[in-house]
Structure formats: C-alpha cells, structure tokens
Structure 1
Amino acid sequence: MYLEFWFDFGSTYSYPAAMRIEALAEERSIPVRWRPFVLGAIFKQQGWNDSPFNIYPDKGRYMWRDMTRITSQLGLPWQEPSQFPRNGLLAARAVCTAPDAQWVPQFCREVFRANFERDEDIASPEVIDQCLTASGTVGQTVLEEAGSAETKGRLHQQTRMATEQHIFGAPSFLVGRELFWGNERLETALDFAAGAIAFPAYEQTPRANT
C-alpha cells in the first residue's frame, strides 16, 4: 500500500505536510507518491476566482494565525509570504518531468522553503533552478523539459485526475479510494495505509447533498 500526497506549492497547509511526511512515512514503511496539482483550477470549479483565505477575511486571519501556531509547534521556520497565493505552476511542471525521481521530495521541500521560509518568488525560473540544484539534479535541463507542451499536458491531466478523485483542497492524502484532507489528517492517512487502523466500508454511492 502507498500514499499519494496531493498538494499545491502555493498552499500554506501543504508546507508543514511536505516537511514532515517522509519521516512519518518511513516510520510506517509506506511509500509516498508526490502529486502536485493546480489548486486554483479546483477553486474555479467551486466558483472561486481566488483563494478562500483571500475571499473571506475571517478565514484568512485564522489561517495566518494557525500557520504561526503550527510552524512554532513543529519547529519549522516561517515567514508570511508577501504574495499569496504564489504561482506554483513552474515548480509543479518540474515535478511532472520525472514524478517518481529520487530528487523530487527534496526539490518539493526546497520550493516550500523558498516560499514560506524565505518569501521568494517561486514563479521565478531562477528560484526554481536554485531549488533543483539544491536537490541534486540539473536545473536547466529540468526547466527546459518543464516548459514543453508535453509536460504542461501532464500537469493538466494530473489536475483533472485530482478532480476525478474528488480532491477539493490541499494538502490531500489518498490511500486507495480513501481521501484525507488537511495537514492534521496526515498521521491518520499513514496509519490507514499501514493497516494500523480501519474504517467502515466505503460507500459505493455517494450521498447526495440536501
């Protein structure tokens, strides 16, 4: 059994999840597949043209305070980004060039650090090149592949897959058909993948909204 980690590089709550998922997964011997997607496209399907944390001020204020608490509790560096949400398309496309390559987890963490620790523009090719180099791969080669129509199509397809899996936010964790949403659900998702916990059978027919 493996766990799929669905995230957006501009997502605040994806940051702490990305920084701790590998160690927690290794403790349980669970492979992790890193799956970036375009959260903004999901939001548009829900009728939002921006992050709900920007649309709803109270929700935004809570999120920023919550991130301060979470990162403090976990001992993670934190700097509120001067732009939110940042455009993570280039970074996501970089991952799509070789989604299961050994450098991908470290690269993802480097991008999250750039965004949420150093307040750097992760849409910048220079920043992404630095993150790729720090991850032990050839940045320029990956960047060239990331700009290809084929790679752009892969990210588009991956975002469509997220929609088909009923993913509506980030971070999300998928174990088989079981979907877990939110950084605070990471341990539960991993325990489920490891067989340490079980839940009632998944409903075959989703309940309609009333």
Structure 2
Amino acid sequence: MARQPTLEFWYEFASTYSYLAAARIEGLAATAGVAVRWRPFLLGPIFASQGWTSSPFNLYPAKGRNMWRDMEREAARCGLPPVRRPDPFPQNSLSATRAAILGQDQDWLVPFSKAVFESCFAHGRSIAEPAAVVEILNGLGLDGTQQLKAAASEANKTKLRVVGEEARSRGIYGAPTFLTDDGELFWGNDRLEQALAWAAGERPGDMR
C-alpha cells in the first residue's frame, strides 16, 4: 500500500491568510487524499531579517486596505463569520506559538490552532496576553496554566527557535506556506488547492 502523501502547513497566528487556510485545509486535504502536518512558527523574525518592522500590510497602507476587503470577501465565500480586525494588528503571537510548539505532537494542536485563529479574526480578541492563551487551552479541557508554564520552559523555547531556523533554511518567507514531500513550496491561501494537487501527484507545468 502506497504511503499517503503529506503536505506541511506552515502558519503564523497573526497572519490573516493563515486563518483562512486553517479553516479550509482539512476538508480539501481529505478530498485530495493528502495528510496535513500542521507547523506553527513565528514570522516576525523572518520579517525582521528582511528589514521589516511590521507586517507589509501595515508598511504599505494601500495593500493593507485591500487585504482587509479581500478577507471580508473570502470569509463570506468560505462560510466563515465576518472578519473582525484585532487591535493592534498584527498581534503578538509569541505565547500562542509557544503553546502550539508544545502541542505539536499532541492531538490538541489542531483544535487549539483553530481556536486561536477564531479568537483573533472571527472575534477580534487579543491573543497576545498569556491569560488569553490560558483561556483557549482551558476551553479545550486542558490545564491552561500548566500548559503555558511548560510552553515557557527553556527546552520549549529552544524548540521554537529551531523551528524558526528550519523555516528560514527551507526558504519560507511568509505565511501560510505549504511544502510538499518533494520540497515544492507554495505560498498563500490562494495556492492551497495547487499545493494539495501537487502533493497528490499532479504536476502541471513542471518543467524541471
């Protein structure tokens, strides 16, 4: 029996389009026969290495205005609640990402990730404060205080830094990013279908 292909889903909790991808990826992947590996990471250090001090949607106001309108359209098209912009944007996602790294091999990673995205972009709530992350973890039936304490350990902080270096070394420069088994990189929510098709074995336009 052939091994099921896998698509790595690299996402950042402060990323608007990662939110859309997180809402869509499971259903689309199941239809395509592709397994998904959820890979939380921090995009801020990668932006900083490019000389950006904030999201490009803030650095380029016209781009930002269009992005929020596009988010409204896409959320409606996908049957999601109306998008609510958190203040400030982008949110500081460090505590949430540390928790996700702690849970990267646990069955609560995906529901936790979805809950963080929904809190941020469906409800417009802050995800920056540790208390907000504890509340989300508690809502999943976990001991949020204990989980966040473990997430702040030096060992888990090191894991997060290693993940960041892996992202950089594999050419990731934005979120969401999708990586196939053969290393093909697709960037953006609007490339999710193409990434899944490639992972499933379709190779349209492959000239290599």
TM-score (norm 1): 0.91
Structure 1 ranges of 4+ moved more than 6 A? none
Asked whether 1:146 is paired with 2:151, we answer yes
**Which of 165, 182, 194 in structure 2 is aligned with 1:188?**
194
Mapped partners of 1:43, 1:130: distance in 2: 29
Residue 11 of structure 1: aligned partner: 15
Aligned pair partner of 1:92 in 97, 116, 120:
97
1:135–1:189 distance in 2 versus 1, CA, 3 Å: farther
> Which segment drifts farther, 192-201 or 45-54?
192-201
* Aligned 8 A contact 1:110 1:134 in 2: no
Equivalent residue for 1:73?
77
Gap runs ≥5 in structure 1: 203-210
Distance (Å, rounded) in 2 between the aligned partners of 1:14 and 1:64: 14
Aligned pairs for 1:118-133 within 5 A: 118-133=123-138
User: Which one-letter code corresponds to 2:125 in the other structure?
Assistant: E
Any gaps of 5 or more consecutive residues in structure 2?
none
Query: Aligned-pair distance for 1:28?
Result: 2.2
Q: Give 1:38 shift.
A: 1.2
Say which of 43, 46, 51 aligns to 1:42.
46
Deviation of the 1:135 alpha carbon: 3.0
Q: Tell me the amino acid that sits aligned with residue 180 of structure 1.
A: F
In 1, Cα distance between equivalents of 2:12 and 2:121: 13
Residue of structure 2 equivalent to 1:207:
none
The share of aligned pairs that are identical, in percent, is 47
Per-residue Cα deviation, 1:65-93 (whole angstroms, up to 9, x for no partner) = 11111111111111122210001111111
In structure 2, what is the Cα distance between the partners aligned to 1:103 and 1:198?
35
Q: How far apart are 1:130 and its partner, in Å?
A: 2.2
Code of the residue aligned with 2:78 in structure 1: it is L
Aligned residues: 202
Q: What is the aligned counterpart of 1:134 among 139, 143, 147?
A: 139
The answer to whether the 8 Å contact 1:33/1:100 transfers is no
- The alignment yields a C-alpha RMSD, in angstroms, of 1.4
1:71-116 Cα distance to aligned partner (Å, 9 max, x none): 1111111112221000111111111113121111110000001100
One-letter identity of the residue aligned with 1:140: T
